[in-house]
Amino acid sequence: GLINVGKGGENKPCLVRLEYLPKGRNKNAKPLVLVGKTMTYDTGGLSLKINNGMRGMKRDKDGGCAVFGAMHAIATVIQPKRPVVGIMVAAENSISDEAYRPDDVITFRNGVSAEITNTDAEGRLVLADGLCWACEKEDPAAVIDMATLTGGVVVALGSTFAGMWCDDDALRAKVQAASDLSGERVWRLPLHEEYRDM
């Protein structure tokens, strides 16, 4: 996903991994893993954004920037007693003769394949590889994924709340408590099986 999305850009795509290890005996504990969508620019690729749709797409890296900022705070201020790994999946979704196309079929690192129907759905492709990496290589206690992923969430919630999907009630409660404490508001969105068919 990451390689294919980034093929059309002048700068090669990359997966950036940051690691915080606490001092003492907990350094071998399972880490919390933060994964951030880091699209340095999103033109929409060959499914080119129209009108003013490209304006502001330098902000499509905000998920990765949030991971970077969190890792800085974790290492310098918070210094938790457990390991934390930050993963930024970075690419530019651009147009060139190398760019991936609608109708391409790509295979992710875990062997799952997907047919591309719209190259402006690039975020879920790069995140899929970041999430595969997190689960396969990091043996995480939990994974938190941060992304500017879909305008549909902005339509539903505006810019007041971030959409949150979580299938672990204990983790969801911790994220909600952190949200309440920080003022960075989240709103739980449904993860029902019926959505898979949609």
Contacts of 163 (CB under 8 A, 6+ apart): 153, 156, 157, 186, 187, 189
Residue 49 annotated as catalytic = yes
Q: Which of 49, 109, 172, 174 is the catalytic position?
A: 49
CA distances from 63 to 40, 188, 198 (A): 11, 18, 26
Residue with tokens 């502001």: 56
Residue 109 annotated as catalytic = no
Phi-psi domain of 125 (left: phi exceeds 0; alpha: psi -120 through 50; beta: other): alpha
- Give me the residues paired with residue 103 across strands: none
Asked if 65 contacts 146 with a C-beta cutoff of 8 angstroms, the reply is no
Q: Which of 82, 124, 172, 174 is the catalytic position?
A: 124
Asked if 86 contacts 70 with a C-beta cutoff of 8 angstroms, the reply is yes
Cα–Cα distance, 149 to 154 (Å, whole number): 10
Catalytic residue list: 49, 124
